Chain A
């Protein structure tokens, strides 16, 4: 499968991103799947003590056609992006936006509760919020 760069010609930003990532290291997705870059949609993953939040930057998609699944600790986001076709007499000068079918897979941490998932689509960003298991959430222990 061929991926095209999401933000083309922005070398400086790419280098900067690389550097930042190296400093940061991977906590949530150190697997072979989790670091497929430059795919569509672009994804940001973050977490709190209560939840794991995945943001998929998928503009211009009917959310009803999105297929979001969690199976065995792996989150899959799949769908198809159809773009308005240029008319026959039109000329396409720049063609950078992604079109076609896509599928992205993210490995989730072990302590999530696959039954407590919320998904919303706003301004072209799909946000999937998965709660962590209660037993995994930090608790203050009272000393008697």
Chain B
């Protein structure tokens, strides 16, 4: 018997969402992720790390007149969602997050043991 693993069931019941554009930059200390979440206030931003999965979710909150009729919509859904798989050398317990003017900045440091070390070469 091969170890057959059933395909993970996608959460199909989840509401549809926009995929926000992101930049991901890595340097020796960790990974920095920027996500454009225009219209999302701090209270409606949800960040979650579960095992090795990072989920970014935000709801757009605009002041819209009650009787407004939309005539042209390029942002056609009221929420953003994007999921990333983190790699082992990252330390999800020390994720830092800032939200300013609709831009989320996440910094995910590398775990201590994964920090780069210079290996000294001994001359014998």
A residues neighboring B (CB under 8 Å):
6-10, 12-13, 16-17, 20-21, 24, 26-29, 34-35, 37-38, 41-51, 53, 55, 57-61, 83-84, 86-87, 89-98, 121-125, 127
Known: A44-B70, A44-B72. A92 touches B24 (CB 8 A): yes
Q: What's the least CB distance linking B78 to chain A, in Å?
A: 11
Taking a contact as CB atoms under 8 Å apart, the answer to whether A91 and B27 are in contact is yes
Closest-by-CB residue of B relative to A121 is: B101
B46 within 8 A of A: no
Q: Tell me the complex Cα distance, A84–B37, Å.
A: 16
Q: Is B119 an interface residue (CB 8 A)?
A: no
Which chain A residue lies CB-closest to B101?
A124
In the docked arrangement, what's the CA distance between A7 and B27, Å?
26
Report if A93-B101 is in contact (Cβ < 8 Å); known contacts: A26-B71, A43-B72, A123-B40.
no
A-B pairs with lowest CB-CB distance, top 8:
A124-B102, A59-B102, A57-B38, A96-B21, A60-B103, A124-B38, A28-B71, A59-B38
Q: Are B69 and A46 in contact (CB under 8 A)?
A: yes
Q: Give a binary string over B22-48; 1 marks a CB under 8 Å from any A CB, 0 the rest.
A: 111111100100101111110000000
The contact sample of 20 A-B pairs, CB cut-off 8 A, is A24-B71, A42-B75, A45-B73, A46-B70, A48-B65, A48-B69, A49-B67, A53-B68, A55-B75, A57-B102, A58-B102, A59-B102, A61-B101, A90-B27, A91-B26, A92-B24, A123-B101, A124-B102, A125-B62, A127-B63
CB distance from A48 to the nearest CB of B (A): 5
Say whether B38 contacts A43, CB under 8 Å: no
Residue of A nearest to B72 (CB): A45
A129 to chain B, nearest CB (A): 9
Interface status of B74 (Cβ within 8 A of chain A): yes
Chain B residues with CB below 8 A from A83, complex form? 23, 34
- With a cutoff of 8 Å between Cβ atoms, the chain A residues found around residue B39 in the complex are 55, 57, 123-125
CB contact under 8 A between A13 and B27, given known A28-B71, A44-B75: no
Interface contact B19-A9, CB-CB below 8 Å: yes
Known: A12-B16, A45-B72, A48-B67. 18 other contacts (CB 8 A): A7-B20, A17-B73, A20-B73, A20-B76, A26-B72, A43-B72, A44-B72, A47-B68, A47-B69, A47-B71, A51-B65, A59-B36, A93-B25, A96-B22, A97-B22, A97-B36, A123-B101, A124-B102
